[in-house]
Chains A and B, each alone.
Chain A
């Protein structure tokens, strides 16, 4: 009899615990679902073909779109990759292979500090360094700021992925009489590449959603601009400008812009899931 009571108490405890864990999990995803749902409901109404093909319309004019901002975001992300990927990937390889000493510790620590810096601080840095020097807002400054944000993310992902490649593969490459740099590149780096690629795309998804570092670097424009030494529109800054405006049609455009941005980022993340195959080590 005593055993049965103990069993019952145990089962009740377990039930309470499982319920608590499950509820926490539900609460954790609830904000995500609420945000996505709200953005979807509010944004879908302002969608039309013109949104993707037309320039922003002046206040009072109906219609118009965000075509320049959508293209601008992709250009800015491209520029950011030019800055962030080479430095991030090479830095990560160095950290993984030669970064066991004091210098490695210092660089690794710096990367961690950099990745936790508020992005607006990086925006100010780009402003002082590039905007103030060129005496105008430009896509270069915006891309640079976003690139700086990418660097620590890409560096640490690359380092982790390269470190996951077993040393035996590196040794096997050396034992074939291959020069060290070729072993690093064609065997170690290539084996780590799938993981690094995932990290790169996640970094891209992150900078796509950045607003603060762009406000005083790439600034914004209501017109087409493909010149990278000129101010360039981005979806995030455009959404920000529309959202704080007092006009109903602009606010509706902000919702549509948000929905587009969320959709693109979601798409990017899903594509990564699909293509990031796991590499098995024998």
Chain B
């Protein structure tokens, strides 16, 4: 575990929301090209944690944060750190599918590049096609690229949002409960997708579904009341946890 390359690292990370502490002194490492799951009961701070990895948490007016998060060894909370560059490197997919309602499927997938600046149409076409293929959506939408993104089913919308994130070519992908609004078949597709994506990306997935964490994640961190209780190899967290609270949670005794 120590020999694995570290992509991101939280060090003494604290976060508040409306004066209430949501994260307490989090120290956690995220390994490159691995899937890291963040589990825990509702309100335990798992979403707040990943929302600090791309500094989205602090965009809410009542939010505050202290501590450090490193990306490739560089502190992203350093003053005047380029947030636009950070978020291009650390992409995010949200709980509810969020296709842009005024845009076609094509424009949704292209949004990150197209709105950022002028791009050659050929390159754009290529990027959109690659991203949609990576998100396992291409075959379903290749003939309806000019139709609105919100016309797709929930599962397709979520894969469109994944494609949109991939099109920007990030290094890390944060998935904040990406399947909680989806049916089991769509969930299965997204989980398959995560397995394929980890070859090229570092993935952090927040989930309240422990089976999902066990299925897709290499490493798992268990959060409770804003604290990281235990972190380790997924198999160990689920079969031989060290902390009593972790054991209680993964065996379904609370949460």
Contacts and interface: CB of A to CB of B under 8 A. Distances in A.
Query: Do the two chains bind?
Result: yes
Contacts of A279: 101-102
A172 B95 CA distance: 11
Contacts of B102: 190-191, 193, 279
B61 A100 contact: yes
Nearest to B149: A282
A279 B102 CA distance: 7
A228 interface: no
Given A186-B115, A280-B150, A175 B99 contact: no
Contacts of A168: 94, 96, 98
B213 to A, nearest CB: 22
Between B89, B92, B100, the greatest number of chain A beta carbons within 10 A of the residue's beta carbon is seen for B100
B100 A175 contact: no
Given A176-B165, A177-B87, A280-B150, A182 B100 contact: no
Contacts of A175: 54, 56, 87, 91-92, 94, 165
A107 to B, nearest CB: 17
A102 to B, nearest CB: 14
A196 to B, nearest CB: 12
A169 B96 contact: no
B97 A282 contact: yes
A178 interface: yes
B56 A176 contact: no
B115 A178 contact: yes
Nearest to B99: A282
B112 A176 contact: yes
Is the contact region of chain A dominated by helix, strand, or loop, or is it mixed? Answer: helix
Interface in B68-107: 84-89, 91-92, 94, 96-102
A177 B98 contact: no
Contact of B161 (A172, A178, A281): A172
A178 B167 CA distance: 13
Given A168-B96, A171-B94, A282-B96, A176 B111 contact: yes
B240 interface: no
B168 interface: yes
A179 interface: yes
Contact of A177 (B84, B96, B150, B154): B84
Interface string A157-173: 00000000010110111
Interface string B137-152: 0000000000000100
Contact of B59 (A100, A171, A177, A280): A171
A173 B88 CA distance: 11
Interface string B104-136: 000000011001100000000000000000000
Given A177-B116, A178-B116, A172 B98 contact: yes
B48 interface: no
Nearest to A185: B115
B157 interface: yes
A174 interface: yes
Contacts of B54: 175
Given A178-B112, A182-B115, A169 B87 contact: no
B91 A280 contact: no
B46 interface: no
Contacts of A172: 92, 94, 98, 100, 161
Nearest to B82: A177
B99 A179 contact: no
Contacts of A166: 98
Interface string A253-282: 000000000000000000000000001111
Contact of B101 (A174, A178, A281): A281
Interface in B48-70: 54, 56, 59, 61
Interface in A202-261: none
B23 to A, nearest CB: 18
Contact of B84 (A169, A178, A191, A280): A178
13 contacts: A166-B98, A171-B56, A171-B59, A172-B92, A172-B98, A175-B92, A176-B115, A177-B89, A178-B84, A178-B111, A187-B115, A193-B102, A279-B101
Q: Top 9 nearest A-B pairs by Cβ distance?
A: A177-B88, A176-B112, A177-B87, A175-B92, A172-B98, A186-B115, A279-B101, A168-B98, A282-B150
Interface of B: 54, 56, 59, 61, 84-89, 91-92, 94, 96-102, 111-112, 115-116, 150, 154, 157, 161, 164-165, 168, 170
